Chain A
Amino acid sequence: MSDHHHKETFVTKYIFSQDHKMISKQYLVTGIFMGIIGGFMSMLFRLQIAWPDTSFSIVEAFLGNHQTDGIMNPDMYLALVTIHGTIMVFFVLTAGLSGTFSNLLIPLQIGARDMASGFLNMVSYWLFFLSSVIMIISLFVEAGPASAGWTIYPPLSALPQAIPGSGTGMTLWLVSMAIFIASSLLGSLNYIVTVLNLRTKGMKMTRLPLTMWAFFITAIIGVISFPVLLSAALLLIFDRSFGTSFYLSDIFISGEVLHYQGGSPVLFEHLFWFLGHPEVYIILLPALGISSEVISTNARKPIFGYRAMVGSIMAIAFLSTIVWGHHMFVSGMNPFLGSVFTFTTVLIAIPSAVKAFNYVTTLWKGNLQLNPAMMFSIGLVSTFVTGGLTGLVLGDSALDINVHDTYFVVAHFHLVMGVSALLGMFAGVYHWFPKMYGRMMNKTLGYWHFWLTIITAYGVFFPMHFIGLAGLPRRYYTNTSFPMFDDLADINVFMTIMAIIGGAAQLIFIANFFISMYRGQKATQNPWNANTLEWTTPVEHIHGNWPGEIPEVHRWAYDYSKTDENGEYVHGKDFVPQTVPLLDGEEPS
């Protein structure tokens, strides 16, 4: 590999770069940008939920002709909810999280010069960029962006007569997502091939750090499930534009009978959730992988039950592809299928419980270095447990009947995949910032960011369970049409205030991120005293990662605080990098 001798221009270094480290930074910054947009939208619609009759100049300023006197229109409310969901799920927590850390860490942690195909990797990022641009453009079309919910169930998403956002806005949404899926597939294929083929000498699969296992399995689920969403979207495009009837049948709207015959919206639901549910794990597993690494490093202790953790990841991944029907218990699907999906769904609790217990056991008797990244990872375990447990309610078909599509669901998935994955992403940024930018992030700001984030996250989403149990449906523009929900108004105000503080707290992160990039303290080569290979590369980025030979791996990644019979550290310090050969008589862990 002699690439690093080539002279690079500004364009090949910063824009059309094929270097995985630069691509990962591009993903991260794009993801943060999209996150600001998606997060800001949630602030706007939270204002509407808390104070439905109050005029806000900020609404007036941002929503143009989609508001009347500072109060947003119902269509715009639905559009904001839809685009918030789309951006957060796909652009931030799929591309922003997986794209950033898979790209950064896969070659570095397995000991490879770069991804298997740097070119495809570059194409993958630029397709993601293109799809982001199209999604943003869709916000400005006259009738408003897509507004049929992020699940875009037809017929609502197919008929502009039903909601104005299903016109040009929906077309752009579909185009953007199709490109996004192409990007995601190119990325995932690259990750899989790289992990399988480019591991350095000694890096057996059983020695891979858990981050690698998580990213590897995530990529596999992505390759299995994303194409199904693509086909679902294609069929929807056909129905919308070319008069086919895959999803539509017997519709009378705006005073006329439409020509559609024989299609079924339930088919779309099946196709959508065949991606949609694995998508939850595409988001969550990388966050869990990151926190495994961060918790073990900062606890100065091996991750407890490495094999069980790998097994759990595989079990979760496998089960995730056969549970999609639990989103459809009351869709009109055959009740027998409901029973089957209940069974498979609730089984996921087992590997999830194993993971949670293993994290807690890793903390037990550790020597916890409570760096910001560690705090975020501990926060992740907390919200993962809180959010995961209510899955036992929702996964049980009999119970789901009454909480389906209420705020109980919103609380559940925000905690278990939204907040958890976001905390995992932050943990990753704080932990690997020195690897990405050669500088350190400020820890005081990190602590402020963490505590404000977790307190407000619980403040928003914990009470939300209870308004769901009061029967409040999600996606209601206002709750004032039903007197039975009048007593929920105060809680909604509280949640909105919490959400806005939480949103504002993210500004601390953004400031810390960008200031540290230029003014942060210079990083040392291995600031966290970690074992994994990425910390053996020089601080300054070079093409090809290691200046000389790629180091050889002699042990697993978790030899922290390994002691001999006398209680002394075997290598004189509380960590043993993977590159250190076994001593005479030292047992491999």
Chain B
Amino acid sequence: MLALFYIFIAVAIGVSFWQITRIMNFRSVIATDEDNEKQAKYSLAFLAFLYAMMIYCLIAMNVIMLPEAASVEGEHDDNLFNITFWLIGIVQFGMQFLIFFFTYKYRGNKNNKALFYADSHKLELIWTTIPAVTIVLLIGYGLWAWNNIMYVGDDENPIVIEVYSQQFRWDARYAGEDNQLGLGNVNFIKGINTMGVDMSDPSAQDDKQVTELYLPKGKKILFKFRSQDVLHSAYMPHFRAQMNCVPGMVTQFAFTPKYTTAEMRQNSEVVAKTDGINKIRRAKGEDPYEFDYVLLCNKICGASHYNMQMKITVVEEEEYNKWLSEQKTLAQVIK
């Protein structure tokens, strides 16, 4: 591929030199009918190129895209996305056709006359109203989904987990039996109390600090995010979840995992993507990849921003309870 790239460069430079030397005796500056013919044909060819590329991308790149949402809340997100994407896809195909086909069809010629057509209230009304109505419907669904995702009712009894960010790592803290996180502040950071938890707070005693997320399937999780230094963003693409971590404030996001990691590994989209990745990895002599949920940093945060990640494992509820009971409470760890 690198060789190909050098060849391309050489060709590009060659072409430019060739053309630039021609300019010395080449003084035509205004499009003639002949130019119009040529450029019109190129426009048509470009339209074909654009269509081919769009169709190729839509088909061939399907496999690299994220698999279906692994959270209950993400379903609506996927639905809305599909509707929106089809809609803009159709408009895109139609509009590009009109733009380049008209360029071809109405190419200039000295025998032609343009139509003096300056205004039409009817047309203007049509293409103001149709987008407006479509958009109102889209916004309606969008806002409904947004409220559904962003507001967590008290009656939902979510499991509270804190995700804590710093350059360049993630930590997590489970709220323990009382499901209440102990207060945290950077002033309490000392020794092994790396998340700055106020150990005089009674609700902090049963909190459990971990370096990997374990989540139970089918239970709503309410994440609370804090940052120790700069902005970070906790991005969990498979769950269609993202929230910034802001120093000085606590932000939140909630979702309900729908598939365990084991189940997700059987998902046909995941299998296809994993196969593709492993083919590449085998060719390079690297270890095979196995699907895992991941939390990655998605707000520029410094040199190692590109490698700030935490593994997420979704398991059945019993297994989750068992794992959680094996973790030590802060009271046990920090005296």
Q: Does A61 sit at the interface, judged by CB under 8 A? A: no
Other-chain contact of A369, B31, B113, B249, B307 (Cβ < 8 Å): B31
Chain A residues numbered 270-318 whose CB sits less than 8 Å from any CB in chain B? 298-308
Determine the interface band of chain A, counting residues with CB < 8 A from chain B. 35 or more
Interface centre among A451, A476, A500 (most CB of B within 10 A): A476
Asked if residues B19 and A448 are in contact (CB atoms below 8 Å), the reply is yes
Evaluate whether A462 and B106 lie within 8 angstroms (CB atoms) in the complex, with A396-B138, A508-B20 already known. Answer: no
Q: How many A-B residue pairs have C-beta atoms within 8 angstroms? Tell me.
A: 434
Asked if residues B240 and A354 are in contact (CB atoms below 8 Å), the reply is no
CB distance from B67 to the nearest CB of A (A): 10
Q: Does B192 sit at the interface, judged by CB under 8 A? A: no
CB neighbours (8 Å) of B74 from chain A are 402
Other-chain contact of A349, B135, B230, B289 (Cβ < 8 Å): B135
Asked if residues B244 and A398 are in contact (CB atoms below 8 Å), the reply is no
Who on chain A is nearest to B112 by CB? A367
Other-chain contact of B117, A248, A301, A459, A467 (Cβ < 8 Å): A301
Q: Does A60 sit at the interface, judged by CB under 8 A? A: no
CB neighbours (8 Å) of A558 from chain B are 118
Q: Interface with B: A5-13, A22-30, A370-378, A534-542, which one?
A: A370-378
Other-chain contact of B31, A347, A371, A483, A486 (Cβ < 8 Å): A371
Evaluate whether A74 and B185 lie within 8 angstroms (CB atoms) in the complex, with A346-B138, A350-B128, A443-B31 already known. Answer: no
Asked if residues B142 and A386 are in contact (CB atoms below 8 Å), the reply is no
Interface string of B164-207 (1 = CB under 8 A from A): 00110000000000000000011101000000100000000000
Chain B residues numbered 29-87 whose CB sits less than 8 Å from any CB in chain A? 29-31, 35-36, 39-40, 42-43, 46, 49-50, 53-54, 57, 61, 63-66, 74, 76-77, 80-81, 84-85, 87
CB neighbours (8 Å) of A78 from chain B are 300, 302-303, 305
CB distance from A83 to the nearest CB of B (A): 14
Other-chain contact of B196, A252, A347, A455, A519 (Cβ < 8 Å): A252
Who on chain B is nearest to A260 by CB? B248
Other-chain contact of A257, B95, B96, B187, B231 (Cβ < 8 Å): B187
Taken together as a complex, chains A and B put the C-alpha atoms of A43 and B124 apart, in Å, by 43
Interface string of A467-487 (1 = CB under 8 A from B): 101110101111101111011
CB neighbours (8 Å) of A404 from chain B are 233, 242, 298
CB neighbours (8 Å) of B99 from chain A are 359-360, 363, 378, 381-382, 385
Q: Does B331 sit at the interface, judged by CB under 8 A? A: no
Other-chain contact of B30, A401, A440, A490 (Cβ < 8 Å): A440
CB neighbours (8 Å) of B119 from chain A are 304-308
Q: Does A228 sit at the interface, judged by CB under 8 A? A: no
Evaluate whether A484 and B277 lie within 8 angstroms (CB atoms) in the complex, with A265-B247, A299-B114, A398-B77 already known. Answer: yes
CB neighbours (8 Å) of A248 from chain B are 247-248
Evaluate whether A252 and B189 lie within 8 angstroms (CB atoms) in the complex, with A162-B229, A488-B64 already known. Answer: yes
Q: Does B264 sit at the interface, judged by CB under 8 A? A: no
Asked if residues B57 and A342 are in contact (CB atoms below 8 Å), the reply is no
Taken together as a complex, chains A and B put the C-alpha atoms of A75 and B168 apart, in Å, by 14
CB neighbours (8 Å) of A133 from chain B are none
Taken together as a complex, chains A and B put the C-alpha atoms of A516 and B29 apart, in Å, by 10
Asked if residues A265 and B231 are in contact (CB atoms below 8 Å), the reply is yes
Interface centre among B4, B85, B115, B241 (most CB of A within 10 A): B115
Taken together as a complex, chains A and B put the C-alpha atoms of A163 and B229 apart, in Å, by 11
Who on chain A is nearest to B12 by CB? A504
CB distance from A228 to the nearest CB of B (A): 20
Asked if residues B131 and A353 are in contact (CB atoms below 8 Å), the reply is yes
CB distance from A579 to the nearest CB of B (A): 20
CB neighbours (8 Å) of B63 from chain A are 487
Q: Interface with A: B144-152, B153-161, B210-218, B318-326, which one?
A: B144-152
Asked if residues A444 and B28 are in contact (CB atoms below 8 Å), the reply is yes
Evaluate whether A486 and B117 lie within 8 angstroms (CB atoms) in the complex, with A149-B300, A251-B229 already known. Answer: no
Chain B residues numbered 225-256 whose CB sits less than 8 Å from any CB in chain A? 225, 228-231, 233, 235, 237-238, 240-244, 246-249, 251, 253
Asked if residues B92 and A445 are in contact (CB atoms below 8 Å), the reply is no
Asked if residues B309 and A481 are in contact (CB atoms below 8 Å), the reply is yes
Who on chain A is nearest to B81 by CB? A399
CB neighbours (8 Å) of B244 from chain A are 330-332
CB neighbours (8 Å) of B108 from chain A are 298, 300, 366-370
Q: Does A266 sit at the interface, judged by CB under 8 A? A: yes
Asked if residues B237 and A471 are in contact (CB atoms below 8 Å), the reply is yes
Taken together as a complex, chains A and B put the C-alpha atoms of A574 and B114 apart, in Å, by 8
Q: Does A63 sit at the interface, judged by CB under 8 A? A: no
Asked if residues B139 and A346 are in contact (CB atoms below 8 Å), the reply is yes
Taken together as a complex, chains A and B put the C-alpha atoms of A302 and B114 apart, in Å, by 9
Asked if residues A445 and B19 are in contact (CB atoms below 8 Å), the reply is yes
Other-chain contact of B39, A300, A375, A467, A563 (Cβ < 8 Å): A375
Taken together as a complex, chains A and B put the C-alpha atoms of A376 and B65 apart, in Å, by 33
Other-chain contact of A301, B50, B84, B114, B300 (Cβ < 8 Å): B114
Evaluate whether A476 and B16 lie within 8 angstroms (CB atoms) in the complex, with A368-B36, A440-B30 already known. Answer: no
Other-chain contact of B299, A381, A405, A448, A501 (Cβ < 8 Å): A405
Q: Does A497 sit at the interface, judged by CB under 8 A? A: yes
Interface string of A174-214 (1 = CB under 8 A from B): 00000000000000000000000000000000000000000
Taken together as a complex, chains A and B put the C-alpha atoms of A430 and B117 apart, in Å, by 26
Evaluate whether A350 and B135 lie within 8 angstroms (CB atoms) in the complex, with A74-B303, A462-B57 already known. Answer: yes
Asked if residues B36 and A500 are in contact (CB atoms below 8 Å), the reply is no
Evaluate whether A339 and B143 lie within 8 angstroms (CB atoms) in the complex, with A360-B102, A381-B99 already known. Answer: yes
Evaluate whether A356 and B95 lie within 8 angstroms (CB atoms) in the complex, with A156-B230, A301-B115 already known. Answer: yes
Other-chain contact of B305, A265, A332, A353, A477 (Cβ < 8 Å): A477
CB neighbours (8 Å) of B61 from chain A are 463, 466, 491
Asked if residues B186 and A252 are in contact (CB atoms below 8 Å), the reply is yes
CB neighbours (8 Å) of A550 from chain B are none
Q: Interface with B: A100-108, A113-121, A387-395, which one?
A: A387-395
Asked if residues B142 and A399 are in contact (CB atoms below 8 Å), the reply is yes
Q: Does B328 sit at the interface, judged by CB under 8 A? A: no
Who on chain A is nearest to B308 by CB? A481
Who on chain A is nearest to B125 by CB? A308
Taken together as a complex, chains A and B put the C-alpha atoms of A10 and B54 apart, in Å, by 54
- Please list the residues of chain B having a beta carbon within 8 angstroms of any beta carbon in chain A: 1-2, 4-5, 8-9, 12-13, 15-16, 19-20, 22-24, 26-31, 35-36, 39-40, 42-43, 46, 49-50, 53-54, 57, 61, 63-66, 74, 76-77, 80-81, 84-85, 87-88, 91-92, 95-96, 98-100, 102-103, 106-109, 112-120, 123-124, 127-128, 131-132, 135, 138-139, 142-143, 145-147, 149-151, 166-167, 185-187, 189, 196, 225, 228-231, 233, 235, 237-238, 240-244, 246-249, 251, 253, 273, 276-277, 280-281, 289, 291, 294, 296-307, 309
